[in-house]
Amino acid sequence: MEGQRRSAESGRRSGRFLISLEDLESVTDDTDSELVYHNSGDDENAHDDDDLFTYWQDVGRCHQVDVPRDMEEPIQQMTRNSQSQERQAVPFTSLSHKTKTDEQLYEKRQYEKAKWACVTESELRYEQSICKGFMKLMKYICQQNSSGLFLGMTAPVVTTVHTNHTRSELLPRVTIAYYLPPQFQDQVPQPFDADIVIEEWPAQVIYARSFSGTTNEEIILREINHLAEHLDVPELLLQDTFIVAGYNNPSVPNRHNEIWFIQRP
């Protein structure tokens, strides 16, 4: 598309490597904050910031999502901080694995009780819900909270999805969730946006299977059903609620994603 071509060209002129339109189709992974690898110099920062925001607007329009002007500062903050800060991993304990020849079919993990910032959306398209939800979380992470601090990115950012009883269709309602870094678990910065809810998720056992690439409704359903084929005790797990976890910079061609099955309480 012409807008995409112009944005990509402006990114190359400014010395940045920007995500492609295809990469932004899963903003589960966009929640990874490294949208840009490097700046080309302080004297070009203002121009680069304009290019970056214009690019987000172009991509948003392709997905029928408006990127409002008040996203400009969070986008710039996320970009600047991603160059100097490592993302903190959500902690877990590995309980067991199931393998076949050299392939790991899934890993069984224990996640402890923790607080997450959550946004629920119900747009017509999965990508629209993810885009809108993540933009709200970006503002929260980027100082629009009661502490006034940049909270820092964690990985994975997860999306809770629901299917029909045959697992052939994703339901519109999804929840995008950001794990609060350990230093904020006891004293949680409160969001200014009433759509963001701080939830304390209980300790839970999950079964995780990795897959690479982009995510959309078709791929998510395929991976859910693929993992279901390998589970030894499917009756112990939730049957219509799953989690999509995204780990990598969306500019990485083979991104690391996971499907999680959740063990019943």
Report the C-alpha gap between 137 and 195 in whole angstroms.
Answer: 10
User: Per DSSP, what are the bridge partners of residue 259?
Assistant: 209, 244
**Residue 25 scores a pLDDT above 60:** no
Domain of residue 69 covers: 2-82
Query: Which of 23, 56, 82 is a domain's end point?
Result: 82
Answer whether 52's CB lies under 8 Å from 38's CB. no
**Residue 129 scores a pLDDT above 60:** yes
Q: Does 242 share its domain with 168?
A: yes
**Residue 121 scores a pLDDT above 50:** yes
Residue 81 identity: N
Report the C-alpha gap between 130 and 176 in whole angstroms.
Answer: 7
As a whole number, mean pLDDT of residues 19-43 equals 37
Q: Does 70 share its domain with 96?
A: no
Q: Does 61 share its domain with 93?
A: no
Going by C-alpha positions, the residue among 49, 45, 48, 56 that lies closest to residue 23 is 56
Q: Does 32 share its domain with 126?
A: no
Q: What percent of the chain has pLDDT over 90?
A: 54
Phi, psi of 49 (to 5 degrees): -60, -40
Tokens of 88: 């903190």
Range scoring the smallest mean pLDDT among 59-68, 86-95, 108-117, 221-230:
59-68
Q: Does 53 share its domain with 77?
A: yes
| pTM score of the predicted model | 0.78
Q: Does 126 share its domain with 251?
A: yes
Query: Which of 59, 82, 105 is a domain's end point?
Result: 82
Answer whether 152's CB lies under 8 Å from 86's CB. no
Answer whether 115's CB lies under 8 Å from 53's CB. no
Q: Does 42 share its domain with 141?
A: no
Taking 3-state DSSP, the helix, strand and coil percentages for the chain, each rounded to the nearest 5, stand at 35, 30, 35
Asked if the peptide bond before residue 156 counts as cis, ω within 30 degrees of 0, the response is yes
What pLDDT shows up at residue 82? 67
Task: Count the domains in the chain.
Answer: 2
What pLDDT shows up at residue 7? 42
Coil, strand or helix: which one is 199? strand
Q: Does 118 share its domain with 207?
A: yes
Report the C-alpha gap between 171 and 152 in whole angstroms.
Answer: 31
CATH at residue 200: 3.20.80.10
Q: Does 115 share its domain with 22?
A: no
What pLDDT shows up at residue 249? 53
Instruction: Give the tens place of pLDDT for each residue, 156-214.
Output: 999 999 999 999 999 999 999 999 999 999 999 999 999 999 999 999 999 999 999 87
Phi, psi of 11 (to 5 degrees): -65, -40
What pLDDT shows up at residue 59? 67
Q: Does 42 share its domain with 166?
A: no
Tokens of 190: 């409160």
Answer whether 237's CB lies under 8 Å from 262's CB. yes
Q: Does 139 share its domain with 255?
A: yes
Instruction: Give the tens place of pLDDT for each residue, 206-219.
Output: 999 999 987 789 99
What pLDDT shows up at residue 63? 65
Inter-CA distances, 175 with 124, 138, 165, 232, 233, Å: 14, 15, 19, 28, 26
Based on its alpha-carbon atoms, the radius of gyration of the chain, rounded to whole angstroms, reads 19
Residue 40 identity: S
**28 contacts: CB under 8 Å, gap ≥ 6:** 130, 134, 157, 158, 159, 176, 215, 244, 245, 246, 257
Q: Does 106 share its domain with 182?
A: yes
Query: Which of 26, 52, 82 is a domain's end point?
Result: 82
Q: If pLDDT is split at 50, 70 and 90, which confidence band does 83 have?
A: low
The number of beta carbons lying within 10 Å of the beta carbon of residue 203 is 10
Q: If pLDDT is split at 50, 70 and 90, which confidence band does 90 have?
A: very high
Instruction: Give the tens place of pLDDT for each residue, 212-260.
Output: 987 789 999 999 999 999 999 999 999 999 999 988 654 445 778 999 9
